[in-house]
Amino acid sequence: MKIFDTTAVNGTALDPQRVQRRTVWVLSTAQLLSGIGSGASLSVGSLLAVQLSGSNAWAGSVTTIMTLGAAATALPLAGLAGRRGRRSSLVTGLLAAMAGSLLVIVSTVTGYFPVLLLAAALLGLGTAANLQARFAAVDLADPEHRGRSLAIVVWAVTIGAVAGPNLIRPGALVGEALGLPALAGPFVFSAAGLALAALLLFIGLRPDPLLLAARLRSGGPATSAGVTGGAGGTSSARRRHGLRHGLRAIKASPRAGLALLAVIAAHGCMAAVMSMTPLHLQLLTEGPLADMPSGHAHAASTDVLVLIGFTISLHIAGMYALSPVMGWLTDKTGRLPVILLGHGLILLSVLVAGFGQAQPALVTVGLVLLGLGWSAATIAGSTLLAESVGADDRVLVQGVSDTLMGVAGAVGAGFSGLVMSGVGYQGLNIAAAAVALAVFAIALRAAALDRRLQTAA
């Protein structure tokens, strides 16, 4: 199979299944490369924020701004995908994130905190693009394989995302060689990975899966003409746009509403707990950090950075490594059972991390379970969402989902610092447990209703 066969001759017949396989391969490889950027940001973002701002109160700011950036750009990127295809949208997001990685380096060199916040906003566009990639994987997928296709692309980020936090020490060496601060080093790798991912998508995502799927639905021939990207897009993408229309489409389908709730709740819980864990581990091992003037906050020791990197790596592995299993379960057992599994794992995870807060090993176990719960809820919820609305509304609804995921993540990360300051790390985890328990109860009721309807039928 020629991965980069672009079918240059207009009118050449295309095999949608072959295009689907190539699309999943290209998306997966790009996710692997771009995952390095997200891993680096998650592992040292809160530490950079404290170091540059001089205050622990800003610890969650990088994650908050990243998630707000992802939320603010999810719908515009979805609109771009509808007009010009997935390729244009994904490449745009990754190039913006690459610029963000370079700005992180600038912020560490200058010690200017606002530059770090601007960089985090640009990195958020990469998050939005990576979220959209999972939906690109199901544009051409058969209904019985949607969970698997989506999960493969989610899984592919594992290597890059797990490697990202562990690039702290190699990054410090690279930073030293380049005359950069130690915490800037990982973002050299981040920028390179994002650039390679954007290049791969630009070359390899031809024909565009979204444009080809629209052409097939309209009854047009499956040829290379008009499906390699470019102006045009789908007619519905030009007519229908905006958060309000997307919410109406979701409201019209109770299953879509449940899917959306499952996804955004899982993301909000994950962002809240994960964003504060690096600071909690630092405080646990080195003691409280007193607020200091900007640029003079105490920097974490290398040993603590390694511990934080290891913990976040395992958390990210939990998020992505078993994604194919979650996708297989979604296709085989149904969407609702896997949503229940996901929020059950989230509930267990925050209880383990919260009540085991004094032991780094239990905090790590809790973070791994949190990642697994996020994986199950996100894959099953995203699959259910994609198939619960009409084809004309699907791209817009996916953009709405990613927007609200970003908002939930921003709220979770933004308030997590305040919650942790008020009731501690354990209290933060208990608050997340309450959210997971509520969603679990709603999904359980929906699953019971499904069983009653199937029995009556």
Q: Cα torsion for 20, 25, 31, 32, to the nearest 10°? A: 170
pLDDT, one tens digit per residue, over 36-48 is 656 666 667 777 8
**Of 365, 374, 380, residue with least CA distance to 343:** 374
Is pLDDT of 289 > 70?
no
Calculate what percentage of the chain has a pLDDT beyond 70: 84
Q: Between 89 and 291, whose confidence is greater?
A: 89
**Residue pair 266/374 in contact by the 8 Å Cβ criterion:** yes
Confidence of residue 239 (pLDDT cuts 50, 70, 90): very low
Contact indicator for 160, 145 with CB cutoff of 8 Å: no
pLDDT value, residue 58: 81
Report the SS3 class of residue 223. Answer: strand
What is residue 292's predicted lDDT score, i.e. its pLDDT? 42
pLDDT at 272 over 80: yes
Which pLDDT band, with edges at 50, 70 and 90, does 443 fall under? very high
Report the alpha-carbon distance of residue 424 to residue 218 in Å, rounded: 55
Whole-Å CA distances, 69 to 157, 244, 322, 409:
20, 20, 27, 11
The SS3 of residue 243 is: helix
Q: State residue 442's pLDDT score.
A: 95
Phi-psi map region of 98: left, alpha, beta (phi>0 left; psi -120 to 50 alpha): alpha
Token code pair at residue 335: 């969407």
Residue 238 has pLDDT above 50, yes or no: no
DSSP character for 140?
A: S
pTM for the model: 0.75
Residues 6 or more apart whose Cβ sits within 8 Å of residue 158: 32, 35, 316, 317, 320, 321, 323
Per-residue model confidence (pLDDT) at position 295:
43
**Are 125 and 96 a contacting pair, CB within 8 Å?**
yes
Residue 438's pLDDT is 96
Q: Which of 307, 319, 305 is nearest to 360 (CA)?
A: 307
| Lowest pLDDT segment from 225-234, 370-379, 406-415 | 225-234
| CB-based contact 131:404 (threshold 8 Å) | no
Residue owning tokens 């913990």: 311
pLDDT above 60 for 236: no
Domains of the chain: 16-214+242-456 (1.20.1250.20)
Report the pLDDT averaged over residues 107-122. 92
Q: Which of 76-80, 171-175, 249-253 comes out lowest in average pLDDT?
A: 171-175
* pLDDT, position 9: 40
In whole numbers, what is the pLDDT of the chain averaged over residues?
83
Closest by CA to 417, choosing from 18, 61, 43, is: 61
